[in-house]
Amino acid sequence: MAVPIAVLDCDLLLYGRGHRTLDRFKLEDVTDEYLVSMYGFPRQFIYYLVDLLGASLSRPTQRSRAISPETQILAALGFYTSGSFQTRMGDAIGISQASMSRCVANVTEALVERASQFIHFPKDEAAVQNLKDDFYGLAGMPGVLGVVDCTHVAIKAPNAEDLSYVNRKGLHSLNCLMVCDARGVLLSAETHWPGSLPDCTVLQQAALTSHFETELHKDGWLLGDSSFFLRTWLMTPLHIPETPAEYRYNMAHSATHNVIERTFRTIRSRFRCLDGSKGTLQYSPEKSSHIILACCVLHNISLEHGLDVWSSPATGHMEQPEEEYEQMESMDSEACRIRQELLLTHFS
C-alpha cells in the first residue's frame, strides 16, 4: 500500500496565505533582559515601534505581509544591534535568513519614511532657547544651535569602476553629516554622501547649508571643527590662538563640540551594524544610507524613551578616517567679525 508523502509548502511556512500571520514569537513570553540581550531594546520600546510602524509593515503589497509587524521589527532590531543575520537570531523568532533580510528592508523603509518626524531642528522660540541654554551649560559657549561633524560608515564596493566611495584610507564608505543637541539628539542627518568627499565639500553641498543660509539664523550658530570653513552660522576654532580670550574660546568650543563625537560613539556602540566589527554593510550605497538613517531615527526615539546611554567607544574596524585637511580659514569678513565679536563679548 502506497503511503502518501506530505509535501511541505515552504512559502506557506514562511509567509502564510492571504492575510494570515504566523505568531512565531511572543514578547510577553520572555523577559526584558532577554529582549535587550538579543534585540538591544526592552519590551515597551518594541511595543512602541509596533504601534508606530505597524500600519506600514502590514501593507498587503509586501510579500512578507504574513510575517507580523512585531516579528519584522524584532528581526530588524536584531540586525541593527548585532550587525549579523546569524542563524540563532532567525531561529529565535522562527524565520529564515532570507526572511530576516526582507524584514530589515521593510522596517528600514518604514523608519526612513518617518525620519523628518524624529530628526529636525526645533521651531518654536522656547525650544530654540532651551537648545542654547543646554549648550551654554556645557562649557559657556553662547548661541549654539547644534554641533556638526561627519563620520564614515563602511560599505561594500558598489563596483570596480566607481571610486567615488573610496575614502582616504582606501576603504569604501559613506560620509555622513550629522548635527546633534547637547544631549546627543540628532537634529539633522545626511547619510548618503560618497566617502571620497572631504567634510568641507559635504557641508558645502548639503541641505543643511541651504537651510541655514536661507533661514538666516542670525540669533545663533552651529559649531564645527577645523575641517569646515568659518561661516556666519558656523563657528570654528581658531587655528593659532594667541590671546587668553582666544584660548578660552577654543577650549569652550572643543568641550562643546565633543558632544557629537560622543554621539557617534553611542550610535556605533548601540547599532553594531555600523561599527565595522561584522564587516561592511553588504548593500548598495542607497540601501546602506537608508540603514544608517533608520538607526539615527531609532537613536532619537530611544532618547525620547529615556534610554539615554553615553557609551564607551565602539571597537569596530571602521572609525572615521583621520582627515589630513588643511586648516579651513574663511575669507568671509562678516563671519570673521561675528567670531571676533563673540570673543570680545564672552571670552575676554
pLDDT tens digits, 18-52: 333 445 567 878 888 888 888 889 999 999 999 99
Domain assignment present for residue 305? The answer is no
Residue 205 has pLDDT above 50, yes or no: yes
The predicted structure's pLDDT at residue 87: 58
Looking at the structure, do residues 182 and 76 belong to the same domain, yes or no? no
Q: Tell me which of 95, 113, 131 is where a domain ends.
A: 113
Looking at the structure, do residues 108 and 41 belong to the same domain, yes or no? yes
- Residue 60's nearest CA partner among 21, 94, 86 is 21
- φ/ψ of 189, rounded to 5, equals -150, 115
Burial class, 67, CB count within 10 angstroms (exposed 0-12 / middle 13-18 / buried 19+): buried
Domain assignment present for residue 11? The answer is no
Domain assignment present for residue 159? The answer is yes
Rounded Cα distance, 248 and 176, in Å: 30
SS3 (DSSP) at 192: strand
- Please, what is the average pLDDT of the chain? 84
- Residue 236's nearest CA partner among 140, 144, 121, 345 is 144
Looking at the structure, do residues 127 and 236 belong to the same domain, yes or no? yes
Q: For the segment 297-324, what is each residue's pLDDT rounded down to a tens digit? A: 999 999 999 987 654 444 444 454 444 4
Residue 263 has pLDDT above 90, yes or no: yes
Rounded Cα distance, 201 and 247, in Å: 28
Looking at the structure, do residues 183 and 229 belong to the same domain, yes or no? yes
Domain assignment present for residue 24? The answer is no
CA-to-CA dists, residue 220 to 43, 155, 336, angstroms? 40, 36, 15
Looking at the structure, do residues 46 and 141 belong to the same domain, yes or no? no
Per the model's pLDDT, the better-predicted residue between 231 and 161 turns out to be 231
Looking at the structure, do residues 179 and 133 belong to the same domain, yes or no? yes
121 and 156 in contact (C-beta within 8 Å)?
Answer: no
Q: What percent of the chain clears pLDDT 70, i.e. is strictly above it?
A: 81
Looking at the structure, do residues 108 and 122 belong to the same domain, yes or no? no
Number of structural domains in the chain: 2
Name the residue type at position 300.
Answer: N
Rounded Cα distance, 148 and 229, in Å: 12
Domain assignment present for residue 210? The answer is yes
- Residue 103's nearest CA partner among 48, 152, 49 is 49
CA 258 to chain centre: 17
Looking at the structure, do residues 191 and 256 belong to the same domain, yes or no? yes
Domain assignment present for residue 107? The answer is yes
Domain span at 340 = 118-284+328-347
Rounded Cα distance, 232 and 197, in Å: 23
State the cell numbers at 337.
567679525
Looking at the structure, do residues 102 and 124 belong to the same domain, yes or no? no
* pTM over 0.85, yes/no: yes
Domain assignment present for residue 38? The answer is yes
The predicted structure's pLDDT at residue 12: 37
